[in-house]
Amino acid sequence: MASPAPKIVIIGAGFAGMWAALSAARKRELAGKADNFVEIVLVAPEPTLYIRPRLYENDVSGASAPLTDLFAAAGVRYVQGLVQKIDVKEKLVGYASADGNSSTLLYDRLILASGSTLFRPHAVAGLAEYSFDADQMESALKLDVHLKSLATLPDSPSRNTVVVCGGGFTGAEIASEMPRRLRSILGETANVRVVVIERGDSINFMGPKSSPVVAEAFVSLGVEVVAGQSIASIDAEGVTTASGTRIASKTVIWTAGMRASPLTAQIPAEQDDIGRLFVTQDLKVVGVDHVYATGDTAHVATDDKGHLALMSCQHAMNLGKSAGDNAMSDLLGLPETPYGQPFYATCLALGPWGALFTTGWDRDVSLVKEEGYKMKTQINTQLIYPPPPNRAAALAAADPAQQSIA
């Protein structure tokens, strides 16, 4: 009996997982090998890419893309399931299938691309019960239903007030969109209030060059900032800070930080303070040569200046391409290529004010307002979407040398 083909198993169908699968398929084809020479298997709960960078938007109906046809065209086998167990000694992945039964997959190389989740500290009373978020499609839709239900309530300060907990990238995008979003639901003359509560002394996540632009946009939009405050508790009628400040609100949105997928804890290797696995520049987990970590699960430098990859689609896309390329190269006995992503840019949506596009790690201001919005629209509607389900186009797009600026 012939030995089974070696297998690459990829966990996750986000940006990193999708591009890892396509990039591995590309390397297999470049090596002149048939699809069944090395099997590529991707396991995830749904064959869908959810565009998390767009979940702050008013309408998220277009913030997803099906992957079934794309994977079929590229020669990637999709397995529907939620991974619950990783056994690196046995090279085994255990998952719950769609019918609830437990199944397993053996692998020769594993690519962990299971992403990240919103950090919800247990110390904040009422956080789980009373807050909303836009971290995943399900929670973004839940927030939308809640916001629309406000129109059925009597006019009051708590009904008209949204509190955003966390003044980082996600918090700024949600807060900037919220005044317009509330008025579309409650009426253009509604006395809406949007408050960002930030633990730091100011909203400065964009650095000294760009943070003043964010402040200008907030003032223009009427977004208030309460700085130097941490959240003590959340209830159905508002939020209370550790210093005792009380803000009445029926809508408290939590955006304060991310953590790597809990699956990283099943890999016996060192992690950083947000749960990412330390990897080599080839994206192999340090000390576990047959496991690659990529996207939000990987702690790795983007360049020779020591800048670290961030939990962003911009880095996840290119990390995924490198992981897939290197995992396939490793199985085929070909040289692996170190990951590198020296170019860095950010594009921050700021509601009706427009958007801010910056370049470099110092975040030099490049485009603002309408011109920035045009760039953000291009990123959100073109640059971060999967290639068409055409084998040649999909594999060409998976070249790790084609770096994304999204």
Residue 394 lies in a domain: no
Average pLDDT over every residue of 65-82: 98
pLDDT, averaged across the chain: 96
92 & 211 share domain: no
Look at residue 1 and tell me whether its pLDDT is greater than 70.
no
The answer to the question of residue 268 being in a domain is yes
**DSSP-assigned states of every residue in 91-137:** TEEEEEETTS-EEEEE-SEEEE---EEE---TTSBTHHHHEE--SSH
Domain boundary among 311, 342, 373: 342
Between CA 228 and CA 150 the distance in angstroms is 29
| Counted domains in the chain | 2
99 pLDDT tier (thresholds 50, 70, 90) = confident
> 136 with 210, same domain?
yes
DSSP alpha helix (H) spans, 187-312: 207-221
Q: What average pLDDT score do residues 334-349 get?
A: 96
Q: Are residues 112 and 149 in the same domain?
A: no
Q: Are residues 275 and 241 in the same domain?
A: no
- Domain membership of residue 86 (yes or no) is yes
Going by C-alpha positions, the residue among 241, 238, 298 that lies closest to residue 15 is 298
CA separation for the pair 344, 6 (Å, rounded): 36
Domain boundary among 300, 324, 342: 342
How sure is the predictor about 406, in pLDDT bands with cuts at 50, 70 and 90? low
pLDDT exceeds 70 at position 347: yes
397 domain residue, yes or no: no
pLDDT at 227: 95
Rounded Cα gap, residues 399 and 386, in angstroms: 13
**Per-residue pLDDT tens over the stretch 212-237:** 999 999 999 999 999 999 999 999 99
Same-domain status, 17 and 43:
yes
Boundaries of domain holding 338: 7-118+259-342
- Report the candidate in 176, 189, 184, 190 with the shortest Cα–Cα distance to residue 223: 176
Query: Is the per-residue pLDDT at 177 higher than 60?
Result: yes
**If 0-12 CB within 10 Å is exposed, 13-18 middle and 19+ buried, where does residue 244 land?**
exposed
Does 181 fall in a domain? yes
Does residue 167 fall inside a structural domain?
yes
- Note whether 219 and 279 are same-domain residues: no
Answer yes or no: is pLDDT of 324 > 70: yes
pLDDT, position 405: 67
Length, in residues, of the chain: 406
108 and 216 in a single domain? The answer is no
Distance CA 119, CA 341 (A): 26
What is the arithmetic mean of pLDDT over 87-98? 96
- Asked if residue 263 and residue 114 are part of one domain, the reply reads yes
Phi, psi of 322 (to 5 degrees): -65, -40
- Quick one: 20 and 47 in the same domain? yes
Say if pTM beats, i.e. exceeds, 0.85: yes
Domain containing residue 132: CATH number: 3.50.50.60
Residue 19, helix vs strand vs coil = helix
- Tokens representing 282? 């080839």
Residue 249 sits in the same domain as residue 267: no
Mean pLDDT across 41-65: 95
217 within domain boundaries: yes
Residue 368 lies in a domain: no
Q: What is the pLDDT of residue 402?
A: 84
On whether both 194 and 142 belong to a single domain, the answer is yes
Pick the last residue of a domain from 325, 342, 359.
Answer: 342
Percent residues over pLDDT 70 in the chain: 99
**Averaged pLDDT, 21-28:** 98
Q: What is the largest CA-CA distance in the chain?
A: 75
What is the enclosing helix (H) or strand (E) of 39?
strand 39-44
The pLDDT tens digits of the residues spanning 372-386 come to 999 999 999 999 999
CA distance 239 to 164: 10
The pLDDT of residue 45:
97
pLDDT higher than 60, residue 2: no
φ and ψ at residue 178, rounded to 5 degrees: -65, -40
Q: Do both 251 and 265 map to the same domain?
A: no
